[in-house]
């Protein structure tokens, strides 16, 4: 998935996702573009919900599978973008929904399925891969790109 050994890796239970989100933000908060990969149902959106809560978003984060882009305002009036590129066919379609403007905004960007269209951010980013191990057990592997 990532290049070489992950920067960080751990196994977790989905009930621990809030704690995991806190750990990730403590370790990698300076990186604003996070790419989330993993099979359908692995927990990408579940992790995004926990990250948004930790970032001070008071509304429930929802999957942007059909809207493609959701944006949330945090308590500090910062914006958090959540994109799902699964239904796109190519980078041109991603440009049409504002992907490059969003990733250049300086705001937090959580992008599911970037690999579906071969999107690779120009700036440093975090690649997060979630593997489904068991019913509620997951492995998360993280690379700084």
CATH number at residue 71: 3.40.50.300
pLDDT (mean) for 27-31: 97
User: What residues make up the domain containing 116?
Assistant: 8-144
Instruction: Give the pLDDT band (50/70/90) at residue 3.
Output: confident
Considering the domain boundaries, does residue 67 fall inside one?
yes
Residue 117: how many CA atoms within 13 Å on its side-chain side?
21
Instruction: Give the pLDDT band (50/70/90) at residue 65.
Output: confident
Considering the domain boundaries, does residue 49 fall inside one?
yes
pLDDT (mean) for 46-58: 97
Considering the domain boundaries, does residue 14 fall inside one?
yes
In the prediction, which pLDDT does 1 show?
Answer: 66
pLDDT (mean) for 87-101: 97
Can you give the pTM of this predicted structure? 0.96
Considering the domain boundaries, does residue 25 fall inside one?
yes
Average pLDDT over all residues of the chain: 96
In the prediction, which pLDDT does 61 show?
Answer: 94
Buried-state track 69-100, b at ≥16 Cβ within 10 A, e below 16: bbbbebeeeeebbbbbbbebeeeeebeebebe
Considering the domain boundaries, does residue 1 fall inside one?
no
Considering the domain boundaries, does residue 71 fall inside one?
yes
In the prediction, which pLDDT does 96 show?
Answer: 97
How many independent structural domains does the chain possess? 1
pLDDT (mean) for 89-116: 97
By percentage, how much of the chain surpasses pLDDT 90? 97
Considering the domain boundaries, does residue 122 fall inside one?
yes
In the prediction, which pLDDT does 21 show?
Answer: 98
pLDDT (mean) for 52-66: 94
In the prediction, which pLDDT does 109 show?
Answer: 98
């Amino acid at each position: 998935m990532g290049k070489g050994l992950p920067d960080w890796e751990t196994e977790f239970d989905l009930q621990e996702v809030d704690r995991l989100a806190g750990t990730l933000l403590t370790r990698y908060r300076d990186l604003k573009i996070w790419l989330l990969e993993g099979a359908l149902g692995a927990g990408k959106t579940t992790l995004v919900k926990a990250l948004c809560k930790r970032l001070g978003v008071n509304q429930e984060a929802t999957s942007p599978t059909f809207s493609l882009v959701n944006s949330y305002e945090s308590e500090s009036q910062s914006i958090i973008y959540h994109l799902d590129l699964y239904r796109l066919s190519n980078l041109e379609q991603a440009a049409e929904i504002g992907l490059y403007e969003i990733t250049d905004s300086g705001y937090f960007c959580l992008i599911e399925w970037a690999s579906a269209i071969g999107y690779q951010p120009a700036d440093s980013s975090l690649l997060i891969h979630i593997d489904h191990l068991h019913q509620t057990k997951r492995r998360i592997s993280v690379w700084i790109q």
